[in-house]
A and B are shown apart, each in its own frame.
Chain A
Amino acid sequence: MLEINDLHAGIGDREILRGITLSVNVGEVHAVMGPNGSGKSTLAQVLAGNPSYEVTKGSVSYNGQNLLEMDAEVRAQNGIFLAFQYPVEIPGVSNAYFLRSAYNEIRKANGMEEIDPLEFLDLVEEKLKLVDMDQAMLSRSVNQGFSGGEKKRNEIFQMAVLSPRLAILDETDSGLDIDALRIVAQGVNTLRSPENATIVVTHYQRLLNYVIPDFVHVLANGRIVKSGGKELALELEEKGYDWLQNAGAGAGAAA
């Protein structure tokens, strides 16, 4: 599904990703872990198509297409979804209007008819339950005045409505108390299916207690320095990242 090969990217003159190679198949959950500044969030942003980042080398193929040539909205229309680490507040645009616009844009791009506000309401009602949110949130402005936990739940709610093929969760667990964490994890697990894939970017292991990954990759200094199964996450929890930091400086990519 996703083939990342020797990906280099950064902002301005600063290179942040220094040769990432990773492949994700349908039905898999990959966890990308690493200390602050290792490039985890940059990887998530680059995959979603944030134009602030420049790709200087390497390739990313998504279902056989060159992902790097697609604008962010085209990626979304093709089933990529990024749950933001810091969801953006958009005063003046209601959640309902925002999400229905997104839903319809994606449908249009895939040759399907747009749906009207009433049909849309039926669709979202069930998804709101999934993340334990009230319908009243639909008429509030996008993320405005939301607590940290509400913002993260809103990301998972949007993901549930847009049902992406490749979901990238960027630090979705940060700033969540244990109840919110369970709700978010439950949302992610419900959406998990043999037809889609998930990349979970996280600093801590705790989300991975609920969302069990098939693979764990450790990022340091813009490279993957170690990959393994779910047990690697537990090892990191115990030992921290220091023992792997040095490997990042010399070893290069290890897939």
Chain B
Amino acid sequence: MSDIATRKGSRDNAILGKDGANQVNTRGPNPINTYRADFKRQLGVPEWVQTLRAQGMARFEALGFPTTKNEDWHFTSVAPIAERTFHAAMTSRAGISSEGSTAGMVARADLRRFTFGQPSWHTLVFVNGEFSEDLSSYAGLSDKVRVSSLAKAIRSGTGRPERHLGKIATFENHAFTALNTAFIQDGAFLELQADAVVEEPIHLLFVSEGEGEAISHPRNLIVAAQNSRASIIESYICIRDNCYFTNAVTEISLGEGARIDHYKIQRESEKSYHVGTTQIRQARDSQLHSFSFAVGGSLARTNIYTSLDGDAATCTLNGLYLTDGKQHIDNQTSIEHIAPNCPSHELYKGVLDGQSHGVFNGKVYVHPEAQKTDGKQSNNNLLLSPTARVDTKPQLEIFADDVKCTHGATVGRLDEMAMFYLNSRGIGRETARTLLTYAFAADVIETIELEPMKTELERMVLARFASTAAA
């Protein structure tokens, strides 16, 4: 099913308003008290950061964790996160008690299988949200590129992050972003000056040790000035298969004519929780190529929100999610067409097995001024088991009268005719199943321009479904 909507006439802008806050009621000791206490124990930072944190905390307390009554969370209950008490991983160790770096517990060798076989890529490693200089390597960057940990940039007192931090990732209606903002401490701060071109990708590798139900709030800020260009990978991984919670926020500012290829690779532990928001603002002629891969987590939610603020800015949001067992993986995207002449393309695919549950919600808003918008959105899902489930909700809201927008979603099972065709050539059912599943995902993987990334994701998809078939 797919439909084409070309609406004439403009409507009241007020419809764009989002839903209000919903409070979650928890019994017993309120985990929000733990967040409140941890918040108060944070160490001193420059006043502007403290103000921002306080705004985040106040908003988080006002919003509370979202419930399924909140339209943005209709198919995903965050009760497992809301009802659990997580301990601040970083602040308890490095930030408050100064027990020293937690990075000592993670060895470089542990990370090798997560680096796409590319030692030459600039890699910034964060352990439980805290930057590890020892594990990182990012030599040889041009002087037009500044790379540092956010904590260091804040400490340095130059105020360089201040212009953008907290200004792109809005938290008025986003409880998890508000919570992250309340705990801003560390993450990556990347600045590309005008015309800077970073040849090798920059890999931000977030490692959770997975000890003691810890929570971390990685916060990244990427500022790409005009005509600059880089490929940036954010990986979220774990060393041990434990229960923890990663609540990450990345803000990206794209200047005129800048291009960022952004890859979000979510490979958390299957016992963990992950909520990650990447929010982007795009100036005139800028290009965003986003690819979101989600395979980990017991409950995981990835938000990619972009705003096409300037004329002829373009974005491509692609994604692939693979779920199995009792996993719940939710993807939400939002594309705000604010300026005219902007094309946006989106393709998300999901493969769901076991008793897992996948969710896709893609919103495209075309504002009244955004004439000549060319938007295309699709979401296709493959159910491999009768107990797997997916909820898909593409949403198109158009308030301009001269636009071309299409959207569509499909949910299907393996094609029995294709299965028989492969069988009739001597290929057994299990191999055929792997091949067809891989084939389903192949076209979205094909869109990846970064070859080692493409190869690795192909390998992961094949390995995942080969092992499922053998089981």
Contacts and interface: CB of A to CB of B under 8 A. Distances in A.
Interface of A: 48-52, 71-73, 75-77, 81-82, 84, 87-88, 90-93, 98-99, 101-103, 105-106, 109, 141, 158, 162
B411 interface: no
Contact of B427 (A52, A82, A102): A102
A102 B423 CA distance: 9
Contacts of A50: 420, 424
A103 B426 CA distance: 8
B424 A82 contact: yes
A102 B428 CA distance: 9
Nearest to B423: A72
Given A84-B421, A92-B442, A105 B427 contact: yes
B417 A102 contact: no
B141 interface: no
B339 to A, nearest CB: 35
B425 A48 contact: no
Nearest to B436: A90
A73 B427 contact: yes
A236 B441 CA distance: 48
Given A90-B418, A92-B443, A101-B431, A49 B423 contact: yes
A51 B436 CA distance: 18
Contacts of A99: 425
Given A73-B427, A101-B427, A105-B431, A92 B441 contact: yes
Contact of A51 (B420, B431, B432): B420
Residue from the set B422, B431, B432, B435 with the largest chain A CB neighbour count within 10 Å: B422
Interface string B396-430: 00000000000000000001111011111111110
A183 to B, nearest CB: 21
11 contacts: A48-B424, A49-B423, A52-B416, A71-B423, A81-B424, A82-B424, A90-B421, A93-B439, A98-B425, A105-B426, A109-B426
Given A90-B421, A102-B427, 16 more contacts: A52-B416, A71-B429, A72-B423, A73-B423, A73-B424, A73-B427, A73-B428, A76-B425, A84-B421, A88-B415, A90-B418, A92-B439, A92-B440, A98-B435, A101-B427, A105-B428
Interface of B is mostly: helix
Interface residues of B, number: 24
Interface of B: 415-418, 420-429, 431-432, 435-436, 438-443
Contacts of A158: 425
A44 to B, nearest CB: 10
A95 B110 CA distance: 38
A90 B417 CA distance: 10
A103 B440 CA distance: 22
B96 to A, nearest CB: 51
A221 to B, nearest CB: 25
Contact of B420 (A52, A77, A101, A102): A52
A185 to B, nearest CB: 22
A102 B439 contact: no
Contacts of A105: 425-428, 431
Contacts of A51: 416, 420
Contact of B425 (A91, A92, A102): A102
A48 B432 CA distance: 16
B426 A106 contact: yes
